[in-house]
Amino acid sequence: MSFNHGSYSPLQPLSIGNVVSTGFLLYRSHLKKYFLLALKAYVWLFVPIYGWAKFFALTALISRLAFAELVNQPESIPSGQRFVNSKLWQYLITMLLMLLLGVGIVIGIVILFLVFSILSALLVGGIGQQANPTAYNIFGLIAIVFMFLIIVAILWLMTRFYLVEVPLSIEDNINSTSTISRSWELTQGYVWRILSISLIGFLITIPIQIFTQIISFILQGIFAPLIRQEPIIFGLIFFVLTIILSFGSGAVILPFWQALKAVVYYDIRSRKEGLGLKLREQDI
């Protein structure tokens, strides 16, 4: 699909390839602006609670700005910041709710593993007295299938909450709880599509991650002998450089993911709610 220069919205559903290419186009065209917002967001992480809320709000702001470009209604950073700042604490509450949800999922998985392990030990142990290797093979196969199903279930759940901060950043009358249910609603029926998009996006970011790892190994090689001589001074310098490298690479990658989320959000709304048609009607 071709796009006009300066226009990102085809006003129709996109293919998986077009979702990724559109997200990358948005990212590349506004790299400096998005990078500075992401870097600012990472710096806010040093400030407890309020700074964390600012981090989530600023990262969500990137998706809002990218979506505005998609629908040909560009928004300035100050205007977008006023909107996300009006919901500042909602972002923090949303992420806390997601954290609690994640903890609940982890506890559930641990319980399943314990139950499975106990049952396996009892059944295989009982049969083991008869020295039947087939039983071990069967339960080994069952364990592999069980692990595969757990991984699939985790990916499925993560994908259902893929857009959790985006509706809060774009739609009116959305709060910390309704944005979670909104993400669940939008992603219904599109899990494998979103997973495919995420996989392609991950492959695109691999070169940046490899470059970051190379620089990290180089820094470790340089500072390892120096830290042994002067652990306080060179240890502090190494820590600061590591933080700069981590935040810098994060500020490069994060806007790409937020722009990609904006495109996924636009695409799903176009498919489910006829967003493109509504925009055409507004233009008329």
For residues 124, 130, 133, 134, the Cα torsion angle rounded to the nearest 10 degrees is -80
| Helix 231-273 with 16-29: angle, nearest 10 deg | 130
Token pair 């928004």 in the structure block, residue: 75
Mean pLDDT, all residues of the chain: 86
Closest Cα partner for 176 from 268, 273, 71, 100? Answer: 100
Over residues 205-217, the pLDDT tens digits come to: 999 999 999 999 9
Q: How far apart are CA 202 and CA 122, in angstroms?
A: 42
What are the boundaries of each domain within the chain? 16-283
pLDDT at 8: 54
Q: Is residue 50 over pLDDT 50? A: yes
Closest Cα partner for 171 from 72, 277, 55, 262? Answer: 262
Cβ(173)–Cβ(205) under 8 Å?
A: no
Q: How far apart are CA 268 and CA 67, in angstroms?
A: 13
Q: How far apart are CA 145 and CA 265, in angstroms?
A: 33
Q: How far apart are CA 200 and CA 151, in angstroms?
A: 19
- Alpha-carbon Rg of the chain, whole angstroms? 23
Residue of higher predicted confidence among 275 and 173: 173
Query: What single string gives the DSSP state of each residue in 144-163?
Result: HHHHHHHHHHHHHHHHHTTT
Note the pTM of the prediction, 2 decimals. 0.84
Q: Is residue 10 over pLDDT 60? A: no
* Number of neighbours of residue 187 by Cβ within 10 angstroms: 21
Q: What percent of the chain has pLDDT over 90?
A: 61
Least confident of 4-18, 237-251, 268-282: 4-18
Q: Is residue 130 over pLDDT 60? A: no
pLDDT at 145: 85
